[in-house]
Amino acid sequence: MIRYLARKLTIYLLTFFVAVTVDWAIPRFMPGDPIQQLLGRMHAQPGSQQALTSYYTKAFGFDVPLWKQYLNFWAALFHGDLGVSIANFPTPVWELIRGAVPYTLALLVPAILLSFWAGNKVGALAARRKVLDNTVLPASYVLTATPQMWLGIVFAWVFATTLAWFPVSGAYDFSLQPAWTWEFFQSFMHHWVLPFLALFLVAFGGWAIGMRNMIIYELEADYSNYLAALGAPTKLVRKYAYRNALLPQITGLALALGAVVAGAIVVEIVFSYPGLGTLTLNALQNRDYFLIQGIFLFLIVGVLLANFVIDIAYVFIDPRTRVGMEGGS
Amino acid sequence: MAVSTGQLQADIEPVPPGALQPAAPAPARRSEFLYFAFRNWKFVLGLAVVLAFLALAVFGPMLTAHKPLEFSGPTASPPSHAYWFGTTSFGQDVFAQFVYGLRATFLVGCVGGGIAWLLGAGVGFTAGYRSGWIDDVLNMLTNVVLVIPTLAILIIVAAYLNVHSYVTEAILIGLTSWPWAARAVRAQTFSLKTRDFVDIARLSGRKTRHVITTEIAPNMSSYLLMMFILLFGGAVLIGASLDFLGLGPSASVSLGLMMNNAYSASALLLGLWWWFLPPGIGIIGIVGGLYVMNVGLDEIFNPKLREL
Amino acid sequence: MSLHVDDLTVYYQSLRGDVKAVDGATFEIADGEIMGLAGESGCGKSTLGKSLIRLDTRMRYVRGSVELDGQELPVWDDARMNPFRFRQVSIIPQYALSALNPTRRIGRMAVELLKSRDVAVDAVLPEFRRRLELVDLPQDILERFPIELSGGMKQRVVMVLSSLLDPSLLIADEVTSALDVSTQRAVAELLVEFRDRGFVKSMIVITHDLSVLYQMADSILVMYAGKLAEKAPAETIVNDSRHPYTQLLLSSLPEVGVRYAERRLKGIPGRPPSLLEPPAGCRFQARCPVATEKCDEQPPFCPLEAGHEAACWKAVA
């Protein structure tokens, strides 16, 4: 078990290392000069061009040799310094991210957890009831093929613009300030429903399909047949099948994290939800390189951490990882 | 990649021993595939939907006189006889955008999915077949690229590299979405490699490449086909997200870009449903059709799943 | 106990029609008898064994009756058959090595299984431990996961578990097929010991290996292409068989000490017939060296002398 975790940790550290290097390398090795592009967008006054160029050269670190840039990058990272936002000067990147993260998490975490739980339950049910199978399955295929932002747009159009049941943008009413009050909480929840649903439904579809297939596979396994041959009630057989089918689903959860995060980003944009998604869009539109890089790093670290947590949890859930793959003699 | 591992249980297992020992020879392999293929409604339905959209992508542009980015018509008008899908806020023909956008979508799916498929199958095969240190190295590479969220990488690359064509976008997508395919192919190769018929081939001195192409690959062909379909679908979805973020080529049209434009022009506040609904329906149709087709293929290739 | 099987017929459903896997099987097993069920691959022996306890989804019961200890076994009705499973009829499956849930400790799985069958676990558990010790398994095995066990250990666990409730009939499906010779002997001896100690009353041992059956079975039933060919005490089958198939089967066995140069192995040329469209008459006719036109008519499985039955015109004549 220790070896398993140690191996996983090595991979994550390596990945982090690679990601940071990529993050550092891309602006420096892509064709074109980012500083010039920035200045072009800013329509800077001729006089200030010189000053801005030298500022940005310093900020990017282009004024020192390449290897030093690399080391400085790492040093800054360990100090939590992700640079200063270009578009929102002089706010540091870290501050902007910190402000946006809670909203993204508020959408992501419930969406991931609930879709996983509900999708697996419904998938398992569909595996044993033909009626459910014929309705849930096609619906799930449609859902999993749906681009999240489109679903968000449709929901916004139907439920917000047309029916006015929910608000169409923001995380809370514009007149309010974030506070631990009942009023704010209500407004927050009201704004939260539609983006959450867009994320939830698409993910739900994927889990339902996967679980249904896994359950069928497990119900046909030898141990299921043996239990049935010894007269075990279907409840027991299903219970074992469900637990065993859940294991690869948990592995799948780790793999799917990247996709869910991507979905959250685009859905947030649709609803102008003040999370990382909208922040990313602003950063991209403004070519705010430091902010983009900062968000990128943050996302990577977040996903890596989540993956690591899931891996640790998996060790405790699946006894086979603990005893090693020794098997027969 | 939104469909999980459950989709890929394509283990082909033998029918109960002795149960089917026909006196007459079994139908030839290819015609057996066709026989089962067209009796499977999921395969047929999925294929039909995808082909319909493909036809629309190929022939659609010939059905409309307008170019997608041309400001030809009245602004923001609903579907009418002249403009089947209505027009955008800028007076562009939505139908033209839609059918040209379909082309881009198919292109991204093919090229992106294709590259991911080649990389994934190549890496997975090699890692699974060779074992040893090659396996370890490739495995580490796969795991590293796997964990990095695809969209994050694509965002940062596309932010600096102004993507001018869909081929470029597709290549980028292909280069980042191959890991899970590599993993799955590796597992399949692993299990096939230890089967007896492969051992026999190697013992009789066949060269490695020969063993791979004649013994292992045919048994994996169905698996590889299904994997390509999933990668295609995945590439389409990622491409749409990229386009929606404005990171795709801006000079041409794609379904994701249509949604981006619609959103930016406040189409949903103005209720211009004919502008933002079709692109999503197009994607759902293509990707959903592919996924359903895949389920059908799974049933066709795996006798255990066939309904009696 | 006694088992009476009368005209049991079970087919497999397939897209191309019904595969007549077991066609009209009629035989009896007495109390305490170990009957070997032998035949080539695909002759229907596994199907016959399985149909006595649980028909899987591909099997279709056509007709016939099964009576165990004077009670009718409703083999065609999955739900009504359940009370009999594990208690009166039990099985050591062909897939014993993968029959245990890989993610459950063995003890826990056994307890859950017993509880679900309304068995008083506290009463049975000590006996369970005792029998595990009997088959040379360590006591801590109940705390282990199946993955920690060797194949042989897993098989022994399944053997003990399946016979835990002292069933009247135990079906052992190909338990020795994948083993080396010395382990085969150990397993065979173990099964006989189960019977001798009264853990099970009677047994059906399904295998293609006649030599193993000769060592452990009281009687042997030979099947061919879905039909019963011959049934007799083990000694009689080996030394005085009457059905041409049995004789050819025995002569196909290599004999220790005899060299190929001296005496060639006589195989049985040809292949078994298709069970989708089996021939109308005797199914062995095509490969039988002594077949005549009379064999166009299916010979009945009838007694030749006490305890010896065969389905062959030549044998009766």
Tens of pLDDT, residue by residue over C229-275, are 999 999 999 888 889 899 888 887 777 777 777 777 777 888 888 88
Spatial distance between the Cα atoms of C178 and C175, rounded to a whole number of angstroms: 8
Cross-chain residue pair A225–C56, CB shorter than 8 Å: yes
Please give the average per-residue pLDDT across B163-190, as a whole number.
Answer: 89
Instruction: Give which of A273, A292, A267 is closest to B244, Cα–Cα.
Output: A267
**Model confidence pLDDT, tens digit, residues C35-68:** 999 998 888 999 999 999 998 888 999 999 999 9
Whether the pLDDT of residue A266 is over 90: the answer is yes
Note the pLDDT tens digit of each residue in A274-308: 999 999 888 888 878 888 888 888 888 888 889 88
Instruction: Give the pLDDT band of residue B3 (cuts 50, 70, 90).
Output: very low
Please choose, from the candidates C88, C69, C18, C68, the residue with its C-alpha nearest in 3D space to the C-alpha of residue C47.
C18
Question: What are the φ and ψ backbone dihedral angles of C111, each rounded to 5 degrees?
Answer: -65, -45
User: Which pLDDT score is estimated for B18?
Assistant: 35
Q: Which pLDDT band, with edges at 50, 70 and 90, does C115 fall under?
A: very high
d(CA C291, CA C245): 11
Sheet holding C89-92, edge to edge: C89-92, C169-173, C202-207, C34-38, C219-224, C227-233, C308-310, C302-305
Determine the pLDDT at residue B29: 55
User: Hey, how many other C-beta atoms are within 10 angstroms of the C-beta on A245?
Assistant: 26
Residue of chain B whose alpha carbon sits nearest to that of C57? B308
Q: Which residue has the higher pLDDT, A79 or C84?
A: C84
A326: chain C residues, CB-CB within 8 Å: 147-148
- Which tens digits make up the pLDDT trace of B53-76? 999 999 988 888 788 888 877 888
Residues of B with Cβ-Cβ distance to A206 under 8 angstroms: 2-4
- Within 8 A of B18 by CB-CB distance, chain C residues are 21, 40-44, 272, 275
User: How much is the average pLDDT of C92-113?
Assistant: 93
Looking at the complex, report in whole angstroms how far the Cα of residue B20 sits from the nearest Cα belonging to chain C. Answer: 7
Q: In chain C, what percentage of residues exceed pLDDT 70?
A: 99
- Per-residue pLDDT at C144: 92
Cα dihedral C59→C63→C64→C67 (10° resolution): 60
Token couple for A20: 């940071």
Sheet containing strand C59-68, strands side by side: C17-29, C3-14, C59-68, C71-72
Mean of pLDDT values over C285-289: 87
Higher per-residue pLDDT: B140 or A328: B140
C158 in reach of chain A (CB within 8 A):
yes
| Interval B11-29: pLDDT, tens | 333 333 333 333 334 444 5
Taking all residues of chain A, what is their mean pLDDT, rounded to a whole number? 85
Q: What's the pLDDT at A263? A: 93
Asked if residue A239 has pLDDT above 90, the reply is: yes
Per-residue pLDDT at C317 exceeds 70: no
Q: What is the pTM of this model?
A: 0.84
B308 → closest Cβ in C15, C43, C275: C15
Answer yes or no: do C14 and B308 touch at CB < 8 A.
yes
The tens digit of pLDDT for each residue in B217-246 reads 777 888 889 899 999 999 999 999 999 988
The residue of B8, B147, B155, B258 whose CB has the most chain A CBs within 10 angstroms, and thus the best one to mutate to test that interface, is B147
Q: State yes or no: pLDDT of B32 exceeds 70.
A: no
Over residues C127-146, mean pLDDT: 93
- Whether the per-residue pLDDT at C77 is higher than 80: the answer is yes
Query: Closest Cα of chain A to B246: distance in Å?
Result: 8
Question: How many CB atoms lie under 10 A from the CB of residue B57?
Answer: 21
Compute the average pLDDT of residues B259-275.
Answer: 89
The residues near B112 (Cβ < 8 Å, ≥ 6 apart) are B169, B170, B171, B173, B174, B177, B231, B232, B235, B236, B238, B239
- B239 vs A161: CA distance, rounded Å: 27
Q: What CA–CA distance (Å, rounded) separates A43 from C220? A: 98
pLDDT of A191 strictly over 70: yes
Q: What is the pLDDT of residue B306?
A: 60
Token pair, residue B144, equals 């590293």
| Chain A residues with beta carbon closer than 8 angstroms to that of C93 | 222, 225-226, 229
End-to-end CA distance of chain B: 31
Which one of A36, A154, A288, A296 would you mutate to disrupt binding with B, by most B Cβ within 10 Å of its Cβ?
A296
Range with the lowest mean pLDDT among A10-14, A174-178, A185-189, B263-267? A174-178
What does the pLDDT read at residue B228? 94
pLDDT bin (cut points 50, 70, 90) of residue B31 is: low
* Mean pLDDT across C98-111: 94
CB half-sphere exposure, A261, CA atoms < 13 A: 28
Residues with Cβ within 8 Å of B153's Cβ and at least 6 positions away in sequence, in order, are: A22, A296, B176
Find out whether the peptide bond into A167 is cis, omega within 30 degrees of 0: no
A228/C152 Cβ within 8 A: no
Instruction: Check whether C226 has a pLDDT greater than 60.
Output: yes
Instruction: Give the model confidence (pLDDT) of A124-136 as tens digits.
Output: 999 888 888 888 8
Q: What is the three-class DSSP state of B22?
A: coil
Integer Cα distance of C272 and C223 in angstroms = 12
Where are any strands of DSSP class E within chain C? 3-14, 17-29, 34-38, 59-68, 71-72, 89-92, 169-173, 202-207, 219-224, 227-233, 302-305, 308-310
* Cα nearest neighbour of A8 on chain B: B143
> Which DSSP letter does residue C270 get?
S
Instruction: Using the predicted structure, report yes or no on whether residue C191 has a pLDDT greater than 60.
Output: yes
User: Considering only CB atoms, which chain B residues are within 8 Å of C14?
Assistant: 15, 19-20, 308
Q: Which residue has the higher pLDDT, C208 or A44?
A: C208
Residue C99 has pLDDT above 90, yes or no: yes
